[in-house]
Every structure is written in structure tokens, then in C-alpha cells.
Structure 1
């Protein structure tokens, strides 16, 4: 499950954002200030950090610079300021996006998913999941000398699942990452593609399977 660290000195905002992201299928870590956030990052590397700009002791811009000076963790800034100069300061500090309070919960989720999707595209061109080797350049899936060629959406779906073994991806996240956040279809499309990839994987190797996490989504498992 993808981990998101939320940093805000306002306990109400911290709880609100945490609940929303937990419901979206993320594992949420919480910090009430920049110093606490840096300690959490050092101990347990999150996939993304949501940072409030106006915090005492260490503001969000400073925290963002510190995060980006030593890691490649993406950062999304939350702030009550919407002026162009403030946005510029946020991006210059190294943030990936900027959301102005008050914000629609869905907008925050869309922007987080879009950032994570961009970072997924920067992953190595080759993904290994047990005996499965995925070549994102040639769009081939290999097990030993067996080659599987999948339609594009099926290939992208398998690549997302294989990029983080045993990580549960929610249905919404999979739809947004493979079909785009503006996709207007329904979950049946995802169900059909999951079924097709499962059937093809089973023929290729019995050691890799897509598991259903009821009420949440799917994850890729490598069996012993």
C-alpha cells in the first residue's frame, strides 16, 4: 500500500486529510511539524508528502527544500495563499504541485494520483516480479524464454501492479493511472482487464498472481 505523509500543525486539517486519503486506499502517516516529519522520513520512507506551508518553527517551503535536498520523494504543498508569487516560491523550493485551501477533497486526491503517476513513469524501464520480467521499452513480458505480448492497457495495468509487489492498489488508483483521472467509464472495464491479465499470467507462470483485496482493490503476489 502506498504511504503518504501528511504534515500540518492544524489538527483538524491533519485529521481531515488523513481520513480522506485513508478512504482512498493510502497508508497515512501524520506529523504536526517539519522536524517530526523529517524524523518520520528518515525512519520510514513515504511515497509522497503533503505539506502545509504555514507552520511554526519550520515552514513548508523550508521543509520541502530539506526533503528534496536528500530524497526524490514528491511533495504537494497545502496553503491558504493563492498568489502567483507564493506558488512560484513553492515550486522553486522543489514542490511538485500546489493546492490552495479551502480545497475539494477530490481535487487533492486527483493531484496526488497525478503526481504518483508521473513518478511511476520515471521508474526503470525494466521491472522484475519473481520470475516475471517486464520490459517497458519493448512492451514484452518474459518468463525464461517465454514471451507474452499484451494489449497496451493490459500491459500498463500489469506494470503498475508489478511496480510495487504486495502493495494494494485501489480500483480508483488503477483506473486513474492506466486510463487517466478524467476517465468517465465504470469499474467493469477494470474488472475485465484484470480477468484477462490473470488468465494470461496463469498460462505463463503459476508463481505470479493478481490477488483481490475485497472492498479495496488488487495486488500482485509472487508465490513460493
Structure 2
């Protein structure tokens, strides 16, 4: 049986783009399926969920933003958006809908391959550290199990995407020490900032994280902005109750 590195769904209404990406990604060892519009993309995703989605913003039968939001409502699958829009705000819109990364058209297929490899490799890695406390962190009402990659707030399971968990895990393992946005981008996404908007990728994911793990995202207690430096995780004193069912499958 032929072994694939993973299954990728390519959603783009340009036949040339679908053809090029299918050829390049297949040669790189991925199984590739393609869709030309939003309806076809959702149907294919439902039939056989892929390991990663490459999603163009400008597609018929549901634009890329809406499709991204629909996918994210039911799945944590990594999503890389492709956009021909030059405005940084337009690119950030996709991230706010739940995308994990984006590339601006025209793009280098080699760069796209590198980003895919980084994301999928990251998902298969073991936890960054066995600390704190053998992979378990309790801070106030927040409980993080890095071994099982689960997060609880007030004993309720919090649903994070894989990228969001990776960012949280990175900050936890450097607790109390500020990490620059460039360092976070390099550590999680695997590339250095090279164009306007790249560092906003980190800001949007931190904002999404705060919206999920902070009691009041506007006054965060865990992920703190270090002005002129970046972000840090502050471990509050006190212990939370162990979430119901933790340690059980």
C-alpha cells in the first residue's frame, strides 16, 4: 500500500492552481483532493476529512471566509488561506475566521510546501516539555494537560485548534519570560516575518486564545502583553480543582 504523508484538500477555482498544487504536493508525498467551489469543498470534507486544507478566499458558491468559518465550527483541521487581496486587514479577516496561516498570491509552491510541512510536523510532535509538573499546569481556574493536549477553564473543556494549543504550550514552557512575536512566529509557524502582516498572525492567535481561556479577554490574567517585547504566560498563584473526568478516556 502506498504511504502518504497526509491528505490535503485544495480549494481554488483556478484550474491551473489546482493542477500545479496537485502535481507538486503529490510529488512531495501527499494525497491531494481538489474542489473548485465552496459547496464541493464542504461535501468532500464531510465525506473524508483531510489532514489540512488549502483554501482560496475568492471562490464561488460560498467565499473562502465563510467556508473557513463553517469548517472551523466543526473541526480543528489546519487551514492555510490563499489570498490575492493586498490589504493586510483582508488577510487578517481569514485568521479571525479560524485560519492557521495565509499566503498572498502569487506565491511560491515551495514556500507553501514548507508551511504545510511545518504545520503537519508540529501536530505530530510530542509535547515541547515534560514540565511544568510532568505536563500538567494548574493556575487559578485554568487547567492545562500538555500530555493529552487538553485545556479546561472552570472545569469545562476548552476547544483549541492545534496551532492555538501549540502557542499556549510554547508560552507555558517559557512562563514568566516574554517571547517576541517574531520568536513565536518562528517557533510555531517555522518562518521569520518578511512582509506586512506576518506578525499579526501571532497577534490574532493570541487574541483567539485569550477569548477562550481568559475570564475577561480584555483584562487577561494568563497571557500578558509585554509592551515593546511580546507576550508572556503568567502563572497565577493558587490551584484549580481537577476537571471532572481528567485522566479518563
TM-score by length of 2: 0.48
Q: CA deviation at 1:122?
A: 7.2
List structure 1 runs of 4+ shifted beyond 4 angstroms. Answer: none
Q: How many residues align?
A: 129
Please state if 1:27 is matched with 2:26: no
Match of 1:120 among 118, 124, 127: 124
Q: CA deviation at 1:56?
A: 1.8
Q: CA deviation at 1:83?
A: 1.9
Question: How big is each residue's C-alpha offset from its partner over 1:18-71, in whole Å with a ceiling of 9 and x where there is no partner?
Answer: 111111110000111111111111111100000010012211111110011001
**CA distance in structure 2 between the partners assigned to 1:96 and 1:118 by the alignment:** 13
Aligned pairs for 1:172-211 (under 5 A) are none
Q: CA deviation at 1:84?
A: 1.2
Q: CA deviation at 1:102?
A: 0.8
Match of 2:22 among 15, 18, 25: 18
Match of 1:72 among 76, 96, 99: 76
Question: How big is each residue's C-alpha offset from its partner over 1:150-192, in whole Å with a ceiling of 9 and x where there is no partner?
Answer: xxxxxxxxxxxxxxxxxxxxxxxxxxxxxx979xxxxxxxxxx
Secondary structure class of the residue paired with 2:107: coil
Match of 2:114 among 110, 113, 123: 110
**CA distance in structure 2 between the partners assigned to 1:61 and 1:122 by the alignment:** 31
RMSD, matched Cα: 2.3
Please state if 1:38 is matched with 2:49: no
Secondary structure class of the residue paired with 1:57: coil
By percentage of residues, which structure has more helix?
1
Unmatched runs of 5 consecutive residues or more in structure 2:
130-145, 148-188, 192-249
Secondary structure class of the residue paired with 1:108: helix
